Structure formats: structure tokens, C-alpha cells
Amino acid sequence: MIGKLHAPVAALMRQVARDIVMPRYRNLSADEISEKAADDFVTIADRESELRLAEGLAKILPEASIIGEEACAADPAILERAGEGLNWIIDPIDGTGNFAAGRPPFGIMIALADAGTTLAGWIFDPLTSRLCHGVLGAGSHINGERVHARESAADLPVAALAVYFMTPEERAEIQGRSAGKFTLVDIPRCAAEQYPRLVLGENDISVFSRTLPWDHAAGTLFLNEAGGCCQRLDGSPYKVGDQRRGLLGASSPRLWDMAAKLLFR
């Protein structure tokens, strides 16, 4: 069943990017951008994208419920059932802050999960048309080509640490532990870009504090199926519906173990 979903889901993402997302890029008026919370933006394109994606996915697999980022913002009770049954999980525009500011990166993310386990995930970059796709037990692909995660060639592992949702104490602890151990780089503020960077050898380590399913269900599967490693800080797998904070991704299991010991043990 999962294999038959890829083509229609990919076509839907491309269509929504072409018809809704890209026409609004660098073309938003002030009243089309708002803040759901501090530093958490939403635009008219997010809302229109989610509606169109939800309609399309409901036709592709009607038995799956829909869990969308903007729907959950309007009704938080939807998120409470994220780990139950078969669900489409939608991030209509990941990296909305970048999109609203008229700069890359941003992307569209979709995952299919059953009882909390992600079965398939798609990450589409509308600017480059890069489509990342992972299927549980069947590997990861970019634009149809099988990919395997690889470590960077840097002398020290390259780390992008998303600490902005951490407490000041947590932030100071991570920054202190990472000093001199990694080559630190800026985060893209876009999970749809961060996960491909870990697979493509651009980054080796990434730490996330907030782990909402629309940001991470597709990406964790894509990284793990490519041979990298993305797990909770205690080494347990990421499960949709688990509302704990903290997630560590790495381009290889070896680097995951090293980073976990340096940063969290």
C-alpha cells in the first residue's frame, strides 16, 4: 500500500507548491502574516496550503485522519490523538518565519503514521524541487535516487543546535558542553532543510528541543532510513503522539552515541 501512495502524494505536494505557496513567496502583505505565539508565524499561504493538502490526502487515503499544524493551532485537542490510529500529518509550510521574511529555506512536509509509528514521509523544497522521501523498512530517496547518510569531511563534527526553545539554563548547559567539541553552524530554522543536511553530509549533529509531529515525523524517518540516527535523548525512538521535548539527530549511529555522551549524559 505505501509504495502506491508515493506518486499521488508527491504530485499533490508539487501542485500545492506551484499553485499556492510560490505565488505568495515574497508577495505577502502585512495583513497576511500573523503570530500564533512569540516568534511563531503563520501566513495566508500556510492556511491555504494546509486546506488543499488535507483535501487531497483525504482522497488519496480516506481511512486516514488528518492532523495539520494549523488545524491543531485552532483546536489543540486534535494533537492529543496524534498517536492513535492512522493519520496524515501535515506541515503546510515548514520554516514559515523564513517564508514570511522572503528568504529560504522553507518546505512542505507530510507523514503517514499508524499508532504513533511513521510509515512514510515526504519533504519537498519548492525552491529547488528537491523531494526527500522515506518509507519504513524500504530506505530513503531524493528525487527518486536512493540515498545513504554520510558524515561531513570536517575535522570536528558539524553541529546545528536548535536551542531557542530551551530554557536559559538548558541553553547554557548545551553551549558549554559543545564548546571545542564541534564545528558549530547556524541552524536553518527549518526542519525541512535540517534533515536533508544531515543525510547529505552538510551537518553531522542536530539537536531539537520542541518536537511537534509535523516538524519531525517525516524527517526522523527519512534520516533513520538513510542510515543515520534520530532518537530521543534517552535513546528511545521518536513516536508521533509522544509530547516529550528533546530529539538528537546524527548522520551516523557512531556520531549519535558520541554526541549523546558529550551533550546529555
Known binding positions: 69, 91, 93-94, 215
Strands 183-184 and 205-208: unpaired
CA distance 239 to 232: 9
100 torsion bin: left (phi>0), alpha (psi -120 to 50), beta (else): alpha
- Binding-site entries for Mg(2+): 69, 91, 93-94, 215
Contacts of 195 by beta carbon, 8 Å cutoff, 6+ apart: 123, 132, 218, 219, 220, 222, 223, 249
Residue with grid cell 541552524, as numbered in its chain? 187
Contacts of 262 by beta carbon, 8 Å cutoff, 6+ apart: 177, 178, 181
Using omega within 30 degrees of 0 as the cis cutoff, is the peptide bond preceding 76 cis? no
Contacts of 160 by beta carbon, 8 Å cutoff, 6+ apart: 184, 185, 186, 187, 188, 194, 197, 203, 205, 206, 207
Query: Pick from 116, 263, 240, 251: which is nearest to 181 by CA?
Result: 263
